[in-house]
């Protein structure tokens, strides 16, 4: 059976790295993101990739995307929720309601919508792996991350736990990966953007992709429920 996966946030960062790594292992991958151009750039490195521009924060868009992917692939064995965002004005005293909802939609609601799009066929088939790229902000709050980001990431951790609690007996498993600092484009949204020296000490997207592939490729009898990964 052809190995198929859906990756959100696939236009850059961890999502792109996971897509490329799965492609090298022979997986057929659907690339999701809000902008087509970055997705096409990644698709050029992933043979047979399906490019689908999609705002995962919009439930209707995700539902349509899910139908298209399943019509094309037949089934989806792995879902990696890597989409995420933050905002520069992130402290409680300056966080706007609009920015708060943007983070919740991109980071948490989008992951939930995508899970609901693909979980039923995993459940029916009694096989599937869901990997949620969370953040160490999903373990402990910090001013660096900001409350909106922290709330959304704690929610992703809870979503992962809920999937395992309800679905592990039906062949579906979920893994929450909690990375520390990674050198990705989201760093540009920090109030103080890290310089080259700071970035050189961070992990790379490919490092987190290796973690995701471990969770996906392990025998189905094994569940890595949580993985905390930080720079050495």
Marked catalytic residue, from 100, 112, 113, 149: 149
Q: Residue 174: beta bridge partners?
A: 130
Element (H, E) at 201: none
3-class SS shares of the chain: helix, strand, coil, % to 5: 50, 15, 35
Q: Which residues contact 228 (CB under 8 A, 6 or more apart)?
A: 136, 139, 178
Q: Residue 6: beta bridge partners?
A: 30, 79
100 in active site: no
Calpha distance 1→35 (Å, rounded): 31
Burial of 122 (0-12, 13-18, 19+ CB in 10 A): buried
Calpha distance 61→39 (Å, rounded): 17
Q: What is the token pair recorded at 67?
A: 């139908």
Collapsing DSSP to helix, strand or coil, 40 comes out as helix
Q: Which residues are catalytic?
A: 149
């Amino acid at each position: 059976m052809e190995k198929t996966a859906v990756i959100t946030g696939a236009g850059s960062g961890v999502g792109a790295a996971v897509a490329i790594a799965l492609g090298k292992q022979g997986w057929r991958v659907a690339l999701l993101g809000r902008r087509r151009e970055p997705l096409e750039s990644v698709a050029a490195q992933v043979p047979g990739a399906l490019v689908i521009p999609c705002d995962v924060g919009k439930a209707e868009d995700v539902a349509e995307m899910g139908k298209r992917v399943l019509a094309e692939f037949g089934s989806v064995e792995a879902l990696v929720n890597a989409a995420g965002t933050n905002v520069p004005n992130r402290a409680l005293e300056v966080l706007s309601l609009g920015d708060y909802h943007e983070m919740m939609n991109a980071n948490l609601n989008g992951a939930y919508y995508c899970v609901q799009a693909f979980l039923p066929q995993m459940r029916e088939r009694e096989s599937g792996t869901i990997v949620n790229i969370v953040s160490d902000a999903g373990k402990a709050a910090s001013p660096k991350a900001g409350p909106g980001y922290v709330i959304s990431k704690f929610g992703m951790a809870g979503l992962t736990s809920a999937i395992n609690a309800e679905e592990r007996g039906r062949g579906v498993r979920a893994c929450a990966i909690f990375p520390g600092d990674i050198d990705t484009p989201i760093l540009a949204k920090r109030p103080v953007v890290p310089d080259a020296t700071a970035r050189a000490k961070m992990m790379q997207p490919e490092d987190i992709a290796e973690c995701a592939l471990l969770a996906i490729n392990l025998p189905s009898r094994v569940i890595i429920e949580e993985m905390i990964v930080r720079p050495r």
